[in-house]
Chains A and B, each alone.
Chain A
Amino acid sequence: MNALSIAGLRKTYGSVAAVDGIDLEIPKGCVFGLLGPNGAGKSTTFKCVLGLIRASAGRVLFAGAPLEPGAFERIAYVPERSVLYDWMSVREHIAYMQSNFSGFDPARARELLAQLGVGDERKKVRALSKGMRTATAVALAFARRIDLLLLDEPTSGLDPVNQRTVLNLIINEAAQGTTVVFSSHQIGQVERAAERIAVMQRGRIILEGVVDDLKAGRKIVEGILPSDDFSINGLASDARIARLERNGRILRAYVTEQPDAIAERMSALGAQGLRVVDLSLEDIFLDAVAPKAATASIVEGV
């Protein structure tokens, strides 16, 4: 049974669909990265999933059951904008968490706050920098005993050292079986911490999969044809090729799976100088949201 199961989730504001029919199955213990340009609907999705805003349609199940008030005891959510109270001190937040969540460990919270550099817990939240507010919200969430962690931009405003600390906290939770869903614009972080990703654009999921499988399948296969007018009939209809670019004798295939087989096929057609170009997750992301902007980065001879 999956930790989180989302089917047909929609949220419309008038005629605008902020979330436009999302289906996601997230297995237990998975770290799931949600990517997408600003306004793609990531934050709205988090809020709909948690019932913080009412979805227009769809079904969300947590470990097979619909959301009920008791479920929040085992779910932590760190929203994009801090929900800390400006007029309360860090220490008062610790006390507040302790009285609201039975699985909250104040000693662990203090340890995490120290690790993230939030030294003085007598400080009011209003005196904290944006980064320190994020760090405080993250530390309070990770100090709870939970099954599911939803983090909306958990590293925004953090310095690189704290970003790495938060990534390792996510990895540590996942190694203990906690399911983590997090959104980020920092693709390098998603590339490290997430096992699976979904890319959202205009309220829809336009790409989903296991990061390593996406990288193994999605490559640019480039070959040099014998002449400018050389026929490559048949290649364009290969379902494993998303699109073909041809510039004189140079042929580039944007492959979604089995790049080696495509390289062999192009070789059999007479193409020479074949290269399989690896794509980073950033390349794959950019190619999904804006196909023209994709650029190849690391080149490997084949």
Chain B
Amino acid sequence: MPVIFTVDPRSGIPIYLQIIEQVKRSVALGLLAPGEQLPTVKQLALDLTVNPNTVARAYRDLEHDAVIETASGRGSFVRANGSADSASIAAGRDVARSEIDGAVRAAKSLGLERAAVTELFETSLDRWLPEES
């Protein structure tokens, strides 16, 4: 498997959160397909040169968020139950939610009212996700 994750250990963002975000992004984008096996904790720790318990913590949280499942002795896999792409949709929503939440908080902190934020959102939606006519 090619190395598809990268982390910045010097960043102030916890490494396990960086791994979670990258796995979710990869699942959302189909770089990791439903049912596909993830690297083992040890393998990913060595690939990224980060602590194995930190990787294990990320995998536990991803399991809790129903993005991956771990079969004891066989490894960790992208969840495949339900509709074929439910894990990828859920993962994409998780990543997008935190980005949108951050954007709204930033707007509020700059003193914008709800109506102004709504207007900005609608502009962005029209630009990136126009309704089919």
Chain A interface (Cβ within 8 Å of chain B)? 29-31, 164, 167-168, 171-172, 174-175, 188, 191-195, 211-213, 215-216, 219, 223, 263, 267, 272-275, 277-283, 297-298, 300-302
- Digitize B73-97: 1 where CB-to-A-CB distance is under 8 Å, 0 elsewhere: 0000000000000000000000000
Contact of A171 among B10, B17, B50, B109 (CB under 8 A): B50
Chain B interface (Cβ within 8 Å of chain A)? 9-17, 41-42, 45-46, 49-54, 57, 102, 105-106, 108-111
CA separation between A215 and B50, bound complex, in Å? 15
Asked whether, in the complex, the Cβ of A280 is within 8 Å of the Cβ of B11, the reply is yes
A283: chain B residues within 8 A (beta carbon): 12
Given A31-B51, A192-B9, A212-B57, decide whether A273 and B110 contact each other with a Cβ distance below 8 A. Answer: yes
| Contact count A vs B, C-beta below 8 Å | 91
Given A30-B53, A168-B49, decide whether A302 and B105 contact each other with a Cβ distance below 8 A. Answer: yes
Asked whether, in the complex, the Cβ of A171 is within 8 Å of the Cβ of B15, the reply is no
B102: chain A residues within 8 A (beta carbon): 300-302
CA separation between A243 and B57, bound complex, in Å? 31
Contact of B46 among A168, A191, A281, A282 (CB under 8 A): A168
B51: chain A residues within 8 A (beta carbon): 31, 171, 174, 192-195, 211
CA separation between A61 and B109, bound complex, in Å? 52
Q: How far is the CB of B73 from chain A (nearest CB, A)?
A: 16
Asked whether, in the complex, the Cβ of A216 is within 8 Å of the Cβ of B17, the reply is yes
**What are 26 sample pairs from A and B whose C-beta atoms fall under 8 A apart?**
A29-B53, A164-B49, A168-B46, A171-B45, A171-B46, A171-B51, A171-B52, A174-B51, A175-B41, A175-B42, A192-B9, A192-B50, A193-B51, A195-B53, A211-B15, A211-B51, A211-B54, A212-B15, A272-B111, A274-B105, A280-B11, A283-B12, A297-B12, A298-B11, A302-B105, A302-B109
CA separation between A164 and B46, bound complex, in Å? 10
A30 and chain B: residue at smallest CB distance: B53
B110: chain A residues within 8 A (beta carbon): 272-273
Asked whether, in the complex, the Cβ of B54 is within 8 Å of the Cβ of A272, the reply is no
Contact of A212 among B41, B54, B108 (CB under 8 A): B54
Q: How far is the CB of B18 from chain A (nearest CB, A)?
A: 10
Given A267-B108, A302-B109, decide whether A192 and B49 contact each other with a Cβ distance below 8 A. Answer: yes
A278: chain B residues within 8 A (beta carbon): 11-13
B45: chain A residues within 8 A (beta carbon): 171, 174-175
A31: chain B residues within 8 A (beta carbon): 51, 53
B13 and chain A: residue at smallest CB distance: A278
CA separation between A298 and B102, bound complex, in Å? 16
B14: chain A residues within 8 A (beta carbon): 211-213, 215-216
B105: chain A residues within 8 A (beta carbon): 263, 274, 302
A30: chain B residues within 8 A (beta carbon): 53
A301 and chain B: residue at smallest CB distance: B106
Asked whether, in the complex, the Cβ of A272 is within 8 Å of the Cβ of B109, the reply is yes
B58 and chain A: residue at smallest CB distance: A212
